[in-house]
Chains A and B, each alone.
Chain A
Amino acid sequence: MAQYFAGVDIGSTMTKVVIMDEAVVASVIGASGTEHRRLANRVMAEALANAGLNFDDITYVVATGYGRINVPFADKQITEISCHARGTSSLLPTARTVIDIGGQDCKGIKLRNGQVVDFVMNDKCAAGTGRFLEIIAEGLGIELEEMGELSLTANNEVSISNTCTVFAEQEVVSKLAEGVPTADLVAGVHKAIATRIYRMVSRLKIEKEVAVTGGGAKNIGLVRALEAKLGYPVLIPPEPLLTGAIGAALLGKDVVQSAAKDGLPLVRSRHPLQEATFFTQN
């Protein structure tokens, strides 16, 4: 009988669920929103429906991401650092450094033989994260998804001097008013973010190959700016947003296999597929 493993990655802006056997059989990416703590079970139910499975068919569930403690039906919580490392090692086995650009944080992870040997995180400042891009996109009146391709058409990349998100937005808007083309501004923003990320991750002594994951990896302009800083191309998984959830599912599989190998009983939470109930309802 096939065994299925689920990974639930609740990030600050997106919730990702993956169901795997030997490969991904279903995945869902949804906005986390302010009610994300209540919604983990619904996203999971959607993934189960897509896979044609019931919750009882899942052998083990691992939750990760900032919201991982709010997944009562998970059997285990594992940090996003470990899950991104596991996911990246599986998807891109030659990667030695992972740069994960998330909605509200950015991480650098150093890998050796698939294991985390070091990491750095920026979690205090929006600059260098997806949130920075969202705010700039709003300021420019364009869609977030347009930014990558648009920046590749830039002729004269503009230098953005402010690293603070609020002031950078003001700077961009005032330059727009001066008539600077949007593409040139967006290219400048990408370069500013790439520079900040590169500076932070350099603390790890970056080693090739470098993989970029998270929402930021879907922005081709930002990826090109990072490649320019690094001096070589980076690797990107097929769906960068799912890297952590895939890693979570695989780590769950590792737990199950390890218990079987050692002849130990599998410890599970046995919680039903319900929303977290420890929050005030009114």
Chain B
Amino acid sequence: MTEEKKPEQRKKRRTATEAASKIGPIAKARTLGVLQSKEEGKPIAYAFIICAYEEIIRAMDIVPHWVENYAGICGAKREAPRFLERAEALSFSRSLCTYALCGLGFDAWREELDEMPPDPPWGGQVRPDMMLGSGQMLCDPRNKWYQAAQHYMPDVPIYNVELLWPPYEEDYDYREVQDYYIKHMVGQLKGLVEFLERRTGRKMDWNRLSELVDLADRTWDIFIEAYELRQAIPCPMGTGDAMNTMVPLTFMLGTQEAYDFYKDLRDELKRKIANKEGIIPDEKYRLIWGGGLPAWFALADFNYFNSKGAVFPVETTYRMAEATYNFDVDLKKISDPLEHIAWRWLKYWTYRHDKARKRPGSHPDIERLIQYIEDYKIDGIVMHLAFSCRTWHLGLIWQLNLLKKVYKDIPSLVLESDIVDISSYNEADTRARIDAFIDTLEAAKSKRR
């Protein structure tokens, strides 16, 4: 009997930490858990990360399905092209956000079949009972995506929460207007609670919400505590792993499991540091992932950097938390949970406004890069222009140029491809650029010696 030819299996990416290796199974169990919840008749909500409503929906036992995460899973498993093609066939432009295209292609196909498309990654994306948008300065698909999805699911309602923060102005202290922002955001979140109560027929348990808000604060704090351990030399965990370990912060906030995950990660990193156990034995270059979502199908490129002696102790992407005890507002004293969420949100997004005003020509985004470069002893910066992510794409080169102008001329590499669309990626060319960047880093180091 001849052996049946099996499709080529892609090797699993090596992780440096045990914590990162647990994320695949956790994420898979959670995605499958949404399917199970659907069967049990629990309300399912399409949701966006960094939305500020995680604790609210969890307090009401509404099960979130994270649409961006699902598209990322399709990308990482190299399953996205068939869903992107569906969306393109429906005349969606290829230059739109490919998370949205992947999700819309999936939804349209599922609705056409009245069942999951064939072989859906991790069981598939369920039909939701509601879609919760998150209109803000982060990105436009966070409300337009659902409007397009409603073409295929006209009976599924959308609720769009508008959460804003004061933009940075170098000659203006945002605190003069912060109360207006808080009032607006609290109104938005109240509206969301009313919508969810109407939609589910359930009443908000305000005490439970307060407990979850407190748990989320503590999760932010322990997340930062763990991540700051990566300042150690040799670095015990890199950005490749962080693209996994961000999952509890971004998709599980307001759960005990998320808090416990970072407690375990912190303890693991402490052990590694005590044993002087780095990602690689001979760490030569310390890099910052200075922006851009990763190419989910090419996370092994982080291992390629490692093979050249380069590690990433820090990244700006998905580090969407600050230590809450550093805020100039004592969150513990804010008893109303919605107000508490609004203040946490506002203080996160304005965290480096004061710092930026002290450096002429700077900007909070630049101050963040500078702080990380100094705290983590960084030699070079890498950014990724994912063509379909306009939010990041627009600002990265500006950030890089401004960083070099107001701070110092640090070696930099700009990679180009996409988050989900693998046709934008060429491994050989990407690695040629990485090789050249390593040469540049070496030249810069030799000059300093």
Contact = CB atoms under 8 A, between A and B. Distances in A.
Interface of A: 66, 78-82, 105, 113, 115-121, 123-124, 203, 205
Nearest to B397: A203
A7 B448 CA distance: 28
Interface in B407-431: 409, 411-412, 414, 416, 424, 426, 428-429
Contact of B436 (A79, A117, A203): A79
Contact of A117 (B401, B426, B440): B440
Contacts of A105: 429
Given A117-B411, A203-B397, A79 B439 contact: yes
A118 B440 contact: yes
A210 to B, nearest CB: 19
List the 5 closest A-B pairs by CB distance, nearest first.
A81-B436, A123-B429, A82-B439, A79-B436, A115-B443
A115 B436 contact: no
B137 interface: no
Contacts, number: 50
B363 to A, nearest CB: 19
Contacts of B433: 121, 123
Given A66-B432, A123-B429, A203-B397, A118 B439 contact: no
Given A66-B432, A115-B447, A203-B397, A81 B440 contact: yes
Nearest to A83: B439
B435 interface: yes
Given A118-B412, A119-B440, A121-B432, 7 more contacts: A79-B432, A80-B432, A81-B439, A82-B443, A115-B444, A123-B426, A123-B433
A43 B436 CA distance: 25
Contacts of B412: 118
Contacts of A66: 428, 432
Nearest to A123: B429
Nearest to A107: B436
9 contacts: A66-B432, A78-B439, A79-B439, A81-B439, A116-B440, A118-B440, A123-B429, A124-B426, A203-B414
Interface of B: 397, 401, 409, 411-412, 414, 416, 424, 426, 428-429, 432-433, 435-437, 439-440, 443-444, 447
Contacts of A80: 432, 436
A205 B412 CA distance: 14
A29 B416 CA distance: 32
A193 to B, nearest CB: 20
Contacts of B409: 117
B397 A116 contact: no
B429 A119 contact: no
A123 B437 CA distance: 15
Contacts of B428: 66
Given A124-B426, A203-B397, A119 B432 contact: no
Contacts of A82: 436, 439, 443
Contacts of B447: 113, 115
B228 to A, nearest CB: 30
Contacts of A118: 411-412, 440
A119 B426 contact: no
A177 to B, nearest CB: 31
Residue from B397, B411, B440, B444 whose CB has the most chain A CB atoms within 10 Å: B440
A86 B298 CA distance: 31
Given A117-B411, A120-B414, A203-B397, A79 B435 contact: yes
A120 B401 CA distance: 14
Nearest to B433: A121
Contacts of B439: 78-79, 81-82, 116
A159 B443 CA distance: 42
Contacts of B426: 123-124
A115 B447 CA distance: 9
A82 B444 CA distance: 12
A116 B411 CA distance: 9
A80 B436 CA distance: 8
A124 B429 contact: yes
A47 to B, nearest CB: 25
B441 to A, nearest CB: 10
B94 to A, nearest CB: 14
Contacts of A78: 439
Contacts of A113: 447
A78 B440 CA distance: 11
Contacts of A123: 426, 429, 432-433
A89 to B, nearest CB: 12
A119 B416 contact: no
Contacts of B437: 119
Residue from B397, B426, B432 whose CB has the most chain A CB atoms within 10 Å: B432
A80 B429 CA distance: 12
Contacts of A203: 397, 414
